[in-house]
Amino acid sequence: MSYDARDDGYDDFLDAVEDGEPYYLESPSGNGWLPPRNCDPETGETDLVEKPLPETGDVLTQTTTHVSGPTFADDAPYVVAVASFGPVNITGQMRGVDDVEIGQQVTLGIDQTETTGDRVIVFRPVE
Amino acid sequence: MVNDVKIAGVGMTPFGRHRERTVREMFGDAAGEAFEDADVPRDAVEEVFFGNYMGEFAEQQGHQGPLAAEAAGVQAPATRIDSACASSGVAVRLGYEKVRSGLADVVLVGGGERMTNLSTPDGTEALSAAADALWEIRAGMTFPGAYSLMANRYFHEYGGSREDLAHIAVKNHDHAVDNELAQFQRAISVEEVLDAATICSPFGMFDCSPMSDGASAALLVSDEFAAEHNLDAPVRIRGAGQHSDNFALGDRASMCHTPAADRAAEMAFEDAGIGPDDIDVAEVHDCFTIAEVLALESLGLYEPGEAISAARNGETAIDGDLPVNLSGGLKAKGHPVGATGCGQISELTKLLRGDHVNSDAVEDATTGVTHNAGGTVASCVVHVLEVDG
């Protein structure tokens, strides 16, 4: 499957990463969330505001995927990681490193998948 | 009005590769077996709750509630439940609440899934739809991948190894050897598990439950109905609980705990008026080996960080202090996702009644627990079952 229609919030976030101005949504309680959100799911607060995302994050966990679905068939094997960027955690694919360690500092970027050419969130190690 | 809820009858097709069998056909078989087991007429059923997750992917078939009722020969309000791999566990809970509240005396619950008619990549993609389509799937996360992320974080926080996980797969295969309903009725070795092809690190093929086809059913009745009709129904649902969590794994407070299961277990034990120490036997959602670890810790049967070594130490084996997944679990019994939760109920009911092939191992058991999870445990439902002393 390839994604033709835009998804508000998600594609806006990817655009912002490409423009070098990634953001997250913060509630009055200080919780951070990725868009699209109408409310903080923990508190129900509705007045969320955009805040700049930290420039670097830390890898919390990772896995190398050898068996994928058809959408990533030509990408396998690839490394999926979850990294914390301040108050939000982001799931993406690692680029530019063979062995990923938990705690690795990374930057956020956008790349394209081999299989479909769709945009994908990627992490690169901090030099 | 609050009723005791009896499990009057259960039914389950053999789980495995039955790629040409439709869900409607399999559920007709499972429900028929449950009616025969219960000795309850079909026209007594007042409501049907049917779990199915991927009918649109595998059979181009949605709206399966009335289809399931028709297959079972029942004319009653019927609703399909989609809670991913917890679909029929949730169906059981809804039936339990319907009977317990006095709104019905007889409810048919169950589920069915057809998966092996899909290729492995297509089945993998269908299962992935139970995760966050925007923030996880588009990053290439699969379900084995999601649980691998949880396993690697668990290892980081608590320690543990692939070998610890391998002992879980070996144990559950051992339990399934004599279970004629199980997909894999063969033992495996730790070496086989460790040498298997990698799916997502750290998981090899034997860390993962299989794609399976199958159906399960149970007839839940009020204690009053059971008494009036002189039913032989020694097992009852003593408590139930269900909870949800943030949908994406990354949005959780922790990736090596399952708070939805914590809360579902607390609800079920509070409903039952007992605690984890009262549990004699458990059927838990071991879709991947690490999932059994997380389940045992959320149920309060082990402290966080301690269940990783339970299988290796023999504690959860058939002759251990707390036998876990005597059916073979999802790992060896099979995992037709929409049928799994009620399948656990069916197997645990038989274990407690004494008519399961592994009942002799728990002949003194009076109380058991089931744990059925959906997605990366964004959904979880827990049931406490008890057999008359």
pLDDT in tens, B223-243: 999 999 999 999 999 999 999
> Residue A127: what pLDDT?
79
Point out the residues of B that are catalytic. Answer: 85, 335
Q: Can you give B349-389 as a three-state secondary structure string?
A: HHHHHCCCCCHHHHCCCCEEEEEEEECCCCEEEEEEEEECC
pLDDT tens digits, one per residue of A2-50:
567 899 999 999 999 999 999 999 999 999 999 999 999 999 999 999 9
Count of CB pairs separated by less than 8 Å, A with B: 108
As a whole number, mean pLDDT of residues B281-305 equals 98
Q: Does B290 touch chain A (CB under 8 A)?
A: no
Sign of CA pseudo-dihedral B147, A116, B125, B132: positive
Residue listed under structure tokens 């199915």: B52
pLDDT tens digits, one per residue of B63-120:
999 999 999 999 999 999 999 999 999 999 999 999 999 999 999 999 999 999 999 8
Rg of the Cα trace of chain A?
15
Coarse DSSP helix, strand, coil percentages of chain A, rounded to the nearest 5 percent: 10, 40, 50
Of A9, A41, A69, the CB nearest to B121: A69
> Residue A2: what pLDDT?
55
Residue B163 scores a pLDDT above 70: yes
Residue B382 scores a pLDDT above 60: yes
Sequence ranges of the domains in chain B: 5-117+210-387
Distance, CA of B81 to CA of B111 (rounded, Å):
9
In angstroms, what separates the C-alpha of B206 from chain A's closest C-alpha?
14
As a whole number, mean pLDDT of residues B176-191 equals 98
Residue B170 scores a pLDDT above 90: yes
Interface list for B 58-87 with A (CB within 8 A): none
Name the band, by pLDDT with cuts 50, 70 and 90, for residue B19.
very high
Sequence ranges of the domains in chain A: 10-125
Domain B5-117+210-387, CATH 3.40.47.10 — does that match? yes
As a whole number, mean pLDDT of residues B187-212 equals 98
* CB-based contact A67 B156, cutoff 8 Å: no
Q: Does B253 touch chain A (CB under 8 A)?
A: no
Q: What percent of chain B has pLDDT over 70?
A: 100
As a whole number, mean pLDDT of residues A71-99 equals 96
CB B115 within 8 A of CB B22: no
* CB-based contact B134 A7, cutoff 8 Å: yes
Which of the residues B118, B147, B199, B251 would you substitute to probe the A interface, choosing the one with the greatest number of A C-beta atoms within 10 Å? B251
CB B269 within 8 A of CB B276: yes
Residues from chain B contacting residue A118 (CB–CB below 8 Å): 138
> Residue B162: what pLDDT?
98
* CB-based contact A66 B255, cutoff 8 Å: no
Of B175, B43, B29, B227, nearest to B112 (Cα)? B29
pTM above 0.90, yes or no: yes
As a whole number, mean pLDDT of residues B126-146 equals 95
**10 Å Cβ neighbour count for B274?**
17
Of A47, A114, A48, A61, nearest to A91 (Cα)? A61
Residues from chain B contacting residue A120 (CB–CB below 8 Å): 138-140
Residues from chain B contacting residue A92 (CB–CB below 8 Å): 139
Does the interface predicted TM-score (ipTM) exceed 0.90?
Answer: yes
Q: Does B135 touch chain A (CB under 8 A)?
A: yes
Residues from chain A contacting residue B120 (CB–CB below 8 Å): 67
Q: Could you tell me how many residues make up chain A?
A: 127
Residue A1 scores a pLDDT above 80: no
Q: Can you give chain B as a three-state secondary structure string?
A: CCCCEEEEEEEECCCECCCCCCHHHHHHHHHHHHHHHHCCCHHHCCEEEEECCCHHHHCCCCCHHHHHHHHHCCCCCEEEECECECHHHHHHHHHHHHHHCCCCCEEEEEEEECCCCCCHHHHHHHHHCCCCCCCCHHHCCCHHHHHHHHHHHHHHHHCCCHHHHHHHHHHHHHHHCCCCCCCCCCCCCHHHHHHCCEEECCEEHHHECCCCEEEEEEEEEEHHHHHHCCCCCCEEEEEEEEEECCCCHHHCCCCCCCHHHHHHHHHHHHHHCCCHHHCCEEECCCCEHHHHHHHHHHCCCCCCCCHHHCCCCCCCCCCCCCCECCCCHHHHHCCCHHHHHHHHHHHHHHHHHCCCCCHHHHCCCCEEEEEEEECCCCEEEEEEEEECC
Distance, CA of B331 to CA of B176 (rounded, Å):
9
Instruction: Round the average pLDDT of chain B to a whole number and report it.
Output: 97
Residues from chain B contacting residue A64 (CB–CB below 8 Å): 198, 200-201
Of B124, B139, B249, the CB nearest to A121: B139
In the DSSP assignment, the letter for residue A33 is E
Q: What percent of chain A has pLDDT over 90?
A: 92
Q: Does B153 touch chain A (CB under 8 A)?
A: yes
Name the band, by pLDDT with cuts 50, 70 and 90, for residue B154.
very high
Residue B1 scores a pLDDT above 80: no
Q: Does B159 touch chain A (CB under 8 A)?
A: no
Q: Does B324 touch chain A (CB under 8 A)?
A: no
CB A69 within 8 A of CB B124: yes
